[in-house]
């Protein structure tokens, strides 16, 4: 019988406290309720093993390794402020636990209040759902993922930590109508566009926060004379997540003919990805140079039931383009 993960008590508590200090020193976790959640939810229970990429090969670290040195490496890594590869299939990363400081920023940007119900797209390890449960209560949290192995694993991790939200196996691009309506939707996987079906599952004035391109879009849901819509700006921060799988999967984009320095520029790659299918790379470059290398928060997105577009500065301004392919196409 394995040693289990519970005996890590004091070392895990110390590592978790160090992680919280690191995030707060960096300007995160300004909300005391979210700080308490990060202080009390044990991340190591959600990553009983993970993979470290070593020169192109994944090395597995786990909490029940018979080698005490490797167990210590595993525990340190569980509280490292970086993403952890948690599922690898045929050499391809299919699931990960996100960087804690990025998770903290996203959760604070979600602007939850007591009583809010939240749908999480992409169950991952269950750690993010646990943080939401700590803040809102189990009954207010729904997490969905199309991979049954991932949802079952998330349930086990959540139960080990004392949380029991609804964890559903299904296509997150279609939301979770059986648990709707929601006050907040948060996605932890990159989208090519915002599935319009989510809007119908939201309460009025709901907030949708999702990785799009290499940024985070924050959309406020509203009821207009023409029906329901959502609109908002990107946050300034970058965000890199595993792509959504299923009916709204992110298509590949082949890029050629541009200088290497541009392709390695984080902000230009954001624009290039955001305009995929609408602007060719040269047109994107022209916009980038003409507007003085705009930051992410100058861009926004508008979503209606049958149309959505990205824009620079103004949704009705001169720089706007259709956004991606939607789940209904």
List C-alpha distances in Å: 254 to 47, 179, 231, 273, 321.
Answer: 34, 38, 29, 10, 19
Cβ atoms 209, 185 nearer than 8 A? yes
Return the residue matching tokens 């940024």: 215
Q: Which of 95, 117, 143, 218 is catalytic?
A: 95
Q: Residue 44 and residue 63: Cα distance in Å, rounded?
A: 8
Give the count of beta carbons closer than 10 Å to the beta carbon of residue 220.
14
> Do β-strands 227-238 and 215-224 pair in parallel, antiparallel, or remain unpaired?
antiparallel
Record the tokens describing residue 280, joined without a space: 């060719």
Query: Any catalytic annotation for residue 95?
Result: yes
Q: Other C-beta atoms within 10 Å of 204: how many?
A: 10
What residues act catalytically?
95
């Amino acid at each position: 019988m394995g040693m289990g993960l519970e005996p890590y008590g004091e070392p895990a508590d110390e590592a978790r406290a160090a992680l919280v200090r690191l995030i707060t020193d960096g300007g995160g976790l300004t909300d005391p309720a979210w700080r308490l959640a990060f202080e009390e939810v044990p991340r190591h229970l959600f990553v009983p093993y993970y993979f470290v990429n070593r020169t192109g090969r994944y090395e597995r670290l786990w909490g029940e390794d018979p080698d005490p040195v490797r167990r210590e490496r595993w525990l340190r890594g569980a509280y490292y402020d970086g993403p952890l590869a948690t599922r690898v299939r045929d050499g391809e990363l299919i699931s990960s636990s996100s960087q804690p400081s990025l998770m903290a920023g996203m959760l604070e940007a979600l602007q939850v209040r007591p009583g809010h119900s939240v749908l999480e797209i992409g169950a991952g390890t269950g750690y993010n759902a646990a943080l939401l449960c700590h803040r809102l209560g189990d009954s207010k949290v729904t997490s969905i993922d199309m991979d049954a192995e991932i949802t079952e694993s998330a349930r086990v991790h959540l139960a080990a930590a004392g949380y029991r939200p609804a964890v559903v196996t299904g296509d997150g691009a279609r939301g979770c109508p059986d648990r709707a309506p929601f006050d907040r939707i948060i996605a932890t996987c990159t989208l090519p566009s915002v599935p319009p079906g989510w809007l119908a599952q939201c309460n009025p004035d709901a907030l949708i926060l999702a990785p799009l391109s290499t940024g985070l879009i924050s959309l406020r849901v509203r009821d207009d004379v023409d029906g329901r819509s959502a609109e908002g700006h990107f946050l300034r921060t970058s965000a890199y997540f595993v792509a959504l799988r299923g009916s709204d999967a992110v298509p590949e984009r082949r890029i050629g003919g541009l200088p290497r320095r541009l392709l390695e520029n984080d902000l230009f790659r954001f624009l290039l990805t955001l305009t995929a299918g609408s602007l060719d790379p040269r047109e994107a470059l022209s916009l980038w140079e003409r507007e003085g290398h705009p930051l992410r928060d100058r861009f926004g997105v508008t979503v209606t039931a049958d149309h959505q577009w990205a824009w620079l500065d103004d949704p009705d301004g001169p720089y706007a383009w259709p956004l991606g392919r939607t789940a209904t196409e």
